[in-house]
Structure 1
Amino acid sequence: MKKIMFICLGNICRSPMAEYVLRDMAAKRGIVLEVASAGTSGWHDGEYMHCGTADILDGLNIDSRDFISSKVTRDDWQYYDYLIVMDNQNLVDMEKQFGKSRKLFKITDLLPENSPYDHVPDPWYTGNFVETREIIQQCCNELLIQIQRGIL
Structure 2
Amino acid sequence: MKILFVCLGNICRSPVLEAVLRDHVRRAGLKWEVASVGTGAWHVGRAADPRSCASATRRGYSMDRHRARQLHVNHFYEYDWLLAADRENLRELQLLRPADASARVELALAFAGLETPQEVPDPYFGADADFEHVVDLAEEFARNVLARYAKR
Name the CA shift for 1:61/1:112 in 2 (closer, same or farther; >3 Å). Answer: closer
Task: Provide the secondary structure at the position in 2 that maps to 1:57.
Answer: helix
Structure 1 position 46, deviation (Å): 0.6
Task: Provide the secondary structure at the position in 1 that maps to 2:74.
Answer: helix
Q: Over aligned residue pairs, what C-alpha RMSD do you find?
A: 1.7
Q: Does 1:65 align with 2:64?
A: yes
Length, aligned pairs only: 147
Q: Does 1:10 align with 2:9?
A: yes
Moved more, 21-30 or 59-68: 59-68
Percent identical: 28
Structure 1 position 70, deviation (Å): 0.6
For the residues of structure 2 that align with 1:103 and 1:146, how far apart are their CA atoms?
A: 17
Moved more, 93-102 or 62-71: 93-102
Moved more, 55-64 or 96-105: 96-105
For the residues of structure 2 that align with 1:4 and 1:112, how far apart are their CA atoms?
A: 17
For the residues of structure 2 that align with 1:47 and 1:87, how far apart are their CA atoms?
A: 22
Name the CA shift for 1:102/1:68 in 2 (closer, same or farther; >3 Å). Answer: closer
Letter in 2 for 1:67: H
Task: Provide the secondary structure at the position in 2 that maps to 1:37.
Answer: strand
In structure 1, list runs of 5 or more residues that go unmatched: none
For the residues of structure 1 that align with 2:62 and 2:46, how far apart are their CA atoms?
A: 16
Structure 1 position 143, deviation (Å): 1.4
For the residues of structure 2 that align with 1:47 and 1:149, how far apart are their CA atoms?
A: 36
For the residues of structure 2 that align with 1:15 and 1:63, how far apart are their CA atoms?
A: 14
Structure 1 position 82, deviation (Å): 0.7
- 1:32 aligns with 31
The runs of at least 4 consecutive aligned structure 1 residues that moved more than 4 Å come to 99-102
Name the CA shift for 1:50/1:25 in 2 (closer, same or farther; >3 Å). Answer: same
Letter in 2 for 1:81: D
In structure 2, list runs of 5 or more residues that go unmatched: none
Structure 1 position 112, deviation (Å): 3.8
Name the CA shift for 1:55/1:146 in 2 (closer, same or farther; >3 Å). Answer: same
CA contact (8 A) 1:9 1:41 kept: yes
Spell out, residue by residue over 1:12-41, the C-alpha distance to the aligned partner (whole angstroms, 9 max, x if none).
000000011001011111122111100011
- 1:139 aligns with 141
